[in-house]
Amino acid sequence: MKIIQYLTLLFFFLLPFHALAVTYINSLFFDFTSAVPFFISGWKEIIIAFFFINSAIWIFHHFRETRKQFDYIDVFIILFSLVGLLIGIWKYDPSTGIMPTILGIKYDFFFIWLLFCFKHLPLFSQNNFVEKLRNTVLFSGIFVVAFAYLQYFSDANFLIQFGYFDAPSVDTIEKPASFCQLLENTNKCRIQSTFAGPIRFAGFLVLLTGLLATFILQKKHVFPAQYKHYKTYPKTFTLINFFLYVFYTAILSSIIFILYKTFSRGAWIAEIIVIASSIIIYFNIKFTKFFKIILYILVTIFTALILFFSYKISQHYSHNSDNSNLISSVFREITTPITTSEYYTKIHTIFIREGSTGKHIEGITKSIEIITLHPEGQGLGTAGPASTLQGVENQLLNENWYLQIFTELGVTGGILFLLFTFTIILHLKKEKSEYLPVVLALFTMALFTHLWEESALAYILFAILGIELEKYKTISIPKTQ
């Protein structure tokens, strides 16, 4: 049993190095002229399939006991999977081949099924495995962040020697990942470390921040109780505590700096959420009614601004089919009062990014239009990363994971997925779990990116959640009379 646990920890340790390793192996032995054998490119999925099979065997042999432990999360997983697979079969288009559907299953279901496996396999609920898993990922993250700094301080072509494509900002399935994704309208490379792109790396950095926060939150009240000499030498232990928190701060600062260099705005928002919510939990901050009212007002103002911006977009959209001119004209109209500022150019380059923002708005607009026309869904692999197999002219990048699910699996599948995510948040909140901040942060980041397409991030987080939620099996479905 311990051997399987250690092999599982090794699997999660290696996950963040997948893109770098496969790209390097491809350049050494295959030179991108032939397909990499599946046991190399799909090693993650082979191991994940092993978890699925083991989980299925366990549940089959212990169905009576397992069924009693099912809660609403399990029900939503089962319903979402059934609805999604049925829609996938119904909407399957033979002309596009089977691969988009297979990738759709991988992206939409694998991380959710992994949560189900880790939630129900007793192997992972023993020997403080969730803490060992978290610490393993943090240890792996040290090397990933160190590699990112190596990339930052090296020549811009640093990743080319590892087999990355030697042209910047190229994103096609025919070529390996580019050595550099340029920040829009600049020659600045966005840091991507061992990942296939900066947004994927940024999501992993937010995960690292959240896992570091759980480590600190769990150690808050443990340190004094662990040592019998604490009462005899309180000043010494207080000093040690001080240096520990200096060390934590240094690690967090190194993560924040390199996260900034990914230039992922969605990840910046997620990082603020994970840090702010961790501070609230750590200091047990209680919000007064006045503070809550202020917060609601700010959220209302922010929502109003988004609606105003969307209204402006829709006005121009109906008269202008050129998206680049559309976004430029809208931003000029909205930002005219501040364009005279000396900091405007820098803010514009880093935060506004008309081209990137235009793609997000275009993806969201198309998604809403498709969902309105096809509320039953278009089928697996018709949106998001899997749709790239259908060619540039047919791909649909929603730039929002939730809209991707609604587009593929319809209103029914989308609602079930939302219920699944909200139930996780409510469970963690009710049990005052230290993992709540990182879940809130990453679930928010998924509003701006195809976040769960990065296997390392999705598999790590949902495996940890599966073990964490296993503690709350008492929250079960009420029996009907």
The confidence band for 66, taking pLDDT boundaries of 50, 70 and 90, is confident
- CA distances to 132, 154, 462 from 135, in Å: 5, 29, 15
CA distance 419 to 404: 16
C-alpha distances out from residue 215 to 245, 424, 428, Å: 12, 20, 16
226 and 299 both lie in a single domain: no
Q: pLDDT tens, 334-383?
A: 555 555 555 666 676 777 777 777 788 888 888 989 999 999 999 999 99
Q: Which of 318, 336, 352 is the last residue of a domain?
A: 352
Q: What is the pTM of this model?
A: 0.87
pLDDT for 269 equals 93
Q: What is the pLDDT of residue 295?
A: 74
- Say which residue the tokens 């480590």 belong to: 215
The span from the CA of 334 to the CA of 331, in Å, is 5
| Long-range pairs, 324-327, Cβ under 8 A, ≥24 | 324/354, 324/355, 324/358, 326/358, 327/354, 327/355, 327/357, 327/358, 327/361
Average pLDDT of the segment spanning 66-81: 88
Are 119 and 44 part of one and the same domain? yes
Kindly state the percentage of the chain with pLDDT values over 90.
Answer: 48
What's the CA gap between 294 and 388, in Å, rounded?
A: 43
Asked if 426 and 467 touch (Cβ cutoff 8 Å), the reply is: no
> d(Cα 427, Cα 431) in Å, to the nearest integer?
6
Tell whether 315 and 199 lie within a shared domain: no
Quick one: what percent of the chain has pLDDT higher than 70? 81
Residues 347 and 202 in one domain: no
- DSSP, res 125: G
The pLDDT of residue 158 is: 92
Q: Is residue 390 part of a domain?
A: no
Core vs surface per residue 251-262: b (16+ CB within 10 A) or e: bbeebeebbbbb
410 CA to centre of own chain: 22
Place of tokens 């990014």: 353
Of residues 27 and 257, more confidence is placed in 257
Q: Does the pLDDT of residue 244 top 50, yes or no?
A: yes
For residue 190, the cross-strand partners are: 181
In total, how many domains does the chain have? Answer: 2
SS3 readout for 238-305: HHHHHHHHHHHHHHHHHHHHHHHCCCCHHHHHHHHHHHHHHHHHHCCCCCCHHHHHHHHHHHHHHHHH
**CA separation (Å) from 308 to 9, 251, 332, 400?**
48, 40, 14, 20
311 and 425, same domain (yes or no): no
Boundary residue ending a domain (324, 352, 380): 352
Mean pLDDT of 185-194: 91
- Together in a domain, 280 and 302: no
Q: Could you report how far apart the first and last alpha carbons of the chain are, in Å?
A: 40
Per-residue DSSP letter, 321: -
What is the per-residue pLDDT across 270-307, written as a single tens digit (0 to 9) for each?
999 999 999 988 888 877 777 778 877 877 787 676 65
- Domain membership of residue 257 (yes or no) is yes
| Domain range enclosing 277 | 2-86+102-285+420-470
Q: How many CA atoms lie within 13 A of 294 on its CB side?
A: 5
* Residue that wins the pLDDT comparison between 60 and 109: 109
234 assigned to some structural domain: yes
Asked if the model's pLDDT at residue 86 lies above 90, the reply is: yes
27-52 pLDDT per residue, tens: 888 766 556 777 788 899 999 999 99
Question: What are the tens digits of pLDDT across the range 120-166?
Answer: 888 888 778 999 999 999 999 999 999 999 999 998 889 999 989 88
Q: Following DSSP, what letter does each residue of 175-237 receive, concatenated? A: SPPBS-EEPTTS-PEEP-TTSSSHHHHHHHHHHHHHHHHHHHHHHTTTHHHH-TTTTTSHHHH
The answer as to whether 315 is a domain residue is: yes
Residues 295 and 280 in one domain: no
Distance from C-alpha of 440 to C-alpha of 435, rounded to nearest angstrom: 9
Based on the domain organization, do 210 and 107 belong to the same domain? yes
- Give CA separation, 274 vs 32, 212, 256, 267, in Å: 39, 10, 12, 10
Element (H, E) at 463: helix 455-470
For residues 81 and 158, membership in a common domain is answered with: yes
If one compares 440 and 218, the residue with the highest pLDDT of the two is 440
CB under 8 Å to 328, separation ≥6 — which residues? 354
Band (pLDDT 50/70/90 cuts) for residue 100 is confident
Same domain (yes/no): 211, 194: yes
Q: Both 305 and 449 in a single domain?
A: no
- Asked which of 327, 352, 377 is the last residue of a domain, the reply is 352
CB 449 within 8 Å of CB 210: no
- Give the pLDDT mean for 176-184: 87
* pLDDT tens readout for residues 388-446: 766 656 788 888 999 999 999 999 999 999 999 999 999 999 988 999 999 999 999 99
pLDDT at 218: 78
Taking residues 252-259, what's their average pLDDT?
A: 96
Q: 60 lies in a domain?
A: yes
> Is residue 372 in a domain?
no
Q: Are residues 454 and 306 in the same domain?
A: no
d(CA 422, CA 206): 20
Give the per-residue pLDDT at 474. 43
Cβ proximity of 190 and 178 under 8 Å: no
The string of pLDDT tens digits covering residues 451-480 is: 999 999 999 999 999 999 987 654 343 444
**Is residue 215 domain-resident?**
yes
Nearby residues of 130 by Cβ (< 8 Å), 6 or more positions away: 124, 464, 467, 468
Asked whether residue 138 is assigned to any structural domain, the reply reads yes
Residue 373 sits at φ, ψ, to 5 deg, of -80, -30
Dihedral of the alpha carbons of 262, 194, 20, 184, in degrees to the nearest 10:
10
CA dihedral 277, 139, 157, 268 (to 10 degrees): 0
Give how far the C-alpha of residue 94 lies from the chain's centroid of Cα atoms, to the nearest Å: 31
DSSP state string for 332-372: HHHHGGGTTSTTHHHHIIIII-HHHHHHHHHHHHHHHHHHH
Rounded Cα–Cα distance for residues 52 and 112 (Å): 11
Provide the total of helices (H) and of strands (E) in the chain, helices listed first: 19, 2
H/E stretch holding 38 reads helix 38-41
Judged against a pLDDT cut of 70, whether residue 309 lies above it is answered with no
pLDDT for residue 325 is more than 90: no
Give residue 475's pLDDT.
39
Give the whole-angstrom CA distance, residue 152 versus residue 263.
13
SS3 call for 113 = helix
Mean pLDDT, residues 72-92 taken together: 94
